[in-house]
């Protein structure tokens, strides 16, 4: 039985897992992303972490068939190069070459939101669906599209990047991407905290409430605070609108919502569904289910393992 | 050498052509869509028209390998049934069964905008591109997506229906689909005429100008009328915005604009491109070319022929 080493490089931690060829997480470990984010150093830590998991599980190194790595970045996937990962400070890093040098195993890299989509469509909320859009709503908003089990990347890896749907044509907030009015300026965790802080300043949210994460706003809303409820309903409405725009192009059978903001569960899902039904034509609405992600923080490492397995299958077919 | 019989059923005329397996239009004919639009009667006329073209060209019936038909409708493609074609008054018409009964040949049906996209991506403006979005901007706005030469229909045939992107969330015009604020309420030929008529009422377009088609507005704009120019620039800006939203999901390498409104050529294309660059992230803009359609009114029949050829290839592969 083959296992795959799935890695999800984030701005604060590097999550890793040993994943079976059936999508089971056999073991997982994470380590903090060093301030330096030196790639060589990070690769060595990835290797130590793998060996620790192999010792824990009694699996031999020979059973590890490949490595998949997700990075919050624009990538040249075929060259194996990270073009730009802003949160890591990486530019033009030949990540695949570096990791192959360290591990002597096949390595596949991909954008982290794409891998979360691949994981969810493989063994998560999108399982068994042919056309899956997965939106990862956290600090920003990422997205990925999986068609018949394979990532659909578009021409240069930007397909499904719904965080940058310009949903406010005029007078929108400025986005990290340089445009204004992007979806992620209105319904990411960052946007939720900004809006809640505004309402706190005008007394609609208690002045002693701590607002450091979107979770704080969900907790307030759950406790009955009207201001916090309004913030979540607004964000969810924008998200549902953005998903309707995407579904009008893609006509998917499943939309999966993951990321930190999805922990709000039904407080998010119900107004998202309402906005989706308002802004997509009935035939698209009828075809599309919207669900919360099922794999939680594991989606990225599971998707990374799946990518590695698919790379191996494609290679075997060519040989 | 095989030829295919391509048919494009419209609200006013039925266009037909004999198309070679390389996409050349060998002969074409059309007949007016009868007021009755009786399906049996129309099928008989299709057969007479085919035989007339075979006589004209000296091609034998035995060389006709299949028939493709485009209909302005929602379809159940696998069942070969037109679910609803509003302009034709057809509901639940088993079109494939009827045509097979008349022709004794394989018949494939598809939405007309999807076939225009397939034609343009096969031998038109999208030729050689892997991910093509084709927008047909006429009385309404249709769209189709072609990935690596094959139609991408989405889950129930709605993929690429960009006419129903809700680009005005509030206070939009009512659309035929029942929603308000759809893209086609702002930049279809219908929308262009409506806007021009508004400006005529307030003196910005000469009161003696005849405004029966979008072409009239293009002619006025070309002659230097500022009001007409404004109407076209506005419509083009909305279209470019809608295309940016679609490209943010799809990340295509080519967007083809066809249909009657595309006859405005650069007066349309230049402001479309400007809006596209404003509302899509640079990496998406960089990957995407926007071009005018190359096949004109033939796109539908050529795409219909291509669909038939692909159906045949798929069948041969299975046998």
Encode pLDDT of A98-144 as tens digits.
Answer: 999 999 999 999 999 999 999 999 999 999 999 999 999 999 999 99
Which residues between 50 and 79 in chain A have a beta carbon less than 8 angstroms from any beta carbon of chain B? 74
**A316 falls in which pLDDT band (50, 70, 90)?**
confident
B112 vs chain A: nearest CA distance in angstroms?
A: 17
B112: left (phi over 0), alpha (psi -120 to 50) or beta: alpha
Rounded CA separation B141/B161 (Å): 8
CA distances for B280 relative to A77, A233, B159, B162, angstroms: 22, 27, 20, 16
Strands of B90-93's sheet, edge to edge? Answer: B74-76, B81-85, B90-93
Q: In whole numbers, what is the pLDDT of chain A averaged over residues? A: 95
Interface confidence, given as ipTM, is 0.95
What tens digit of pLDDT does each residue of A196-249 get?
999 999 999 999 999 999 999 999 999 999 999 999 999 999 999 999 999 999
When pLDDT is cut at 50, 70 and 90, the band that residue B319 belongs to is low
Q: pLDDT digits over A161-206, tens only?
A: 999 999 999 999 999 899 999 999 999 999 999 999 999 999 999 9
pLDDT for residue B11 is more than 90: no
B162 contact A CB<8A: yes
Question: CB count, 10 Å around CB of B140?
Answer: 23
- Cβ within 8 Å, pair A283-B169: no
Average pLDDT over chain B reads 95
* Chain B partners within 8 Å of A179 (Cβ): 278-279, 281
pLDDT given for residue B36 in this prediction: 63
Higher pLDDT, A35 or A77: A77
The residue-averaged pLDDT of B31-57 equals 91
Smallest Cα distance from A246 to chain B, Å: 6
| CA distances in angstroms from A304 to A57, A99, A198, listed in the order given | 20, 14, 38
Encode pLDDT of B243-298 as tens digits: 999 999 999 999 999 999 999 999 999 999 999 999 999 999 999 999 999 999 99
Percent of chain B predicted with pLDDT > 90: 92
CA distance A45 to A30: 10
What are the distances in angstroms from CA B26 to CA B32, B44, B60, B306? 21, 21, 13, 14
d(CA A201, CA A49) in angstroms, rounded, equals: 46
**Average pLDDT of span B288-315:** 96
Interface of A with B in 107-146 (CB under 8 A): 130-131, 145
Q: Are A214 and A266 in contact (CB under 8 A)?
A: no
Task: Describe the strand order of the beta sheet including A74-76 as a list of residue ranges.
Answer: A74-76, A81-85, A90-93
Per-residue pLDDT tens digits for B204-256: 999 999 999 999 999 999 999 999 999 999 999 999 999 999 999 999 999 99
Give how far Cα B294 sits from Cα of B139, B155, B299, B302, Å: 19, 29, 8, 12
| B93 touches A at CB < 8 Å | no
Scanning every residue of chain B, which has its alpha carbon at the shortest distance from the alpha carbon of A253? B155
The pLDDT score that the predictor gives to residue A319 is 66
Is the predicted pLDDT of residue B107 greater than 80, yes or no? yes
Chain A residues touching residue B284 (CB < 8 angstroms) = 158, 161
Q: Chain B contact for A235, CB < 8 A?
A: no
Using alpha carbons, select from A229, A225, A179, A219 the residue that is nearest to residue A206. Answer: A225
Contact call for B166 and A279, based on CB within 8 A = yes
What pLDDT is stored for residue A210 in this prediction?
Answer: 95
Structure tokens at A40: 């060589």
pLDDT digits (tens, 9 = 90+) for A35-63: 667 899 999 999 999 999 999 999 999 99
- Answer whether A158 touches B (CB < 8 Å): yes
- Confirm whether pTM is higher than 0.90: yes
Which residues, listed in sequence order, are joined to residue A132 by a DSSP beta bridge?
A146, A254
């Amino acid at each position: 039985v083959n296992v795959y080493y799935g890695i999800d490089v984030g701005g604060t931690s590097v999550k890793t897992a040993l994943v079976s060829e059936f999508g089971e997480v056999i073991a997982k470990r994470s380590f903090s992303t060093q301030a330096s984010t030196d790639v060589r150093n990070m690769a060595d830590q990835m290797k130590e972490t793998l060996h620790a998991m192999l010792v824990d599980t009694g699996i031999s190194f020979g059973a590890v068939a490949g490595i998949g790595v997700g990075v919050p970045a624009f990538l040249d996937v075929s060259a194996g190069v990270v073009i730009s990962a802003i949160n890591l400070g990486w530019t033009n890093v030949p990540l695949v070459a570096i990791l192959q040098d360290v591990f002597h195993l096949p390595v596949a890299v991909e954008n982290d939101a794409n891998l979360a989509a691949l994981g969810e469509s493989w063994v998560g909320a999108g399982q068994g669906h042919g056309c899956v859009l997965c939106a990862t709503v956290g600090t920003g908003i990422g997205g990925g599209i999986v068609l018949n089990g394979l990532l659909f990347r578009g021409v240069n890896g930007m397909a499904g990047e719904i965080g940058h749907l310009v949903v406010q044509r005029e007078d929108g907030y400025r986005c990290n991407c340089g445009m204004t009015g992007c979806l992620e300026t209105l319904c990411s965790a960052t946007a939720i905290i900004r809006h809640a802080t505004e309402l706190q300043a005008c007394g609609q949210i208690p002045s002693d409430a701590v607002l450091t994460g979107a979770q704080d706003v969900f907790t307030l809303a759950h406790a009955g605070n009207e201001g916090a409820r309004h913030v979540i309903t607004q964000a969810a409405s924008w998200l549902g609108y953005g998903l309707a725009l995407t579904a009008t192009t893609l006509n998917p059978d499943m939309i999966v919502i993951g990321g930190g903001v999805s922990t709000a569960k039904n407080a998010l899902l119900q107004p998202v569904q309402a906005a989706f039904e308002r802004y997509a034509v009935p035939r698209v609405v009828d075809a599309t289910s919207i669900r919360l992600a099922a794999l939680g923080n594991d989606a990225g490492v599971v998707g990374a393992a799946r990518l590695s397995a698919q790379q191996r299958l494609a290679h075997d077919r060519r040989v």
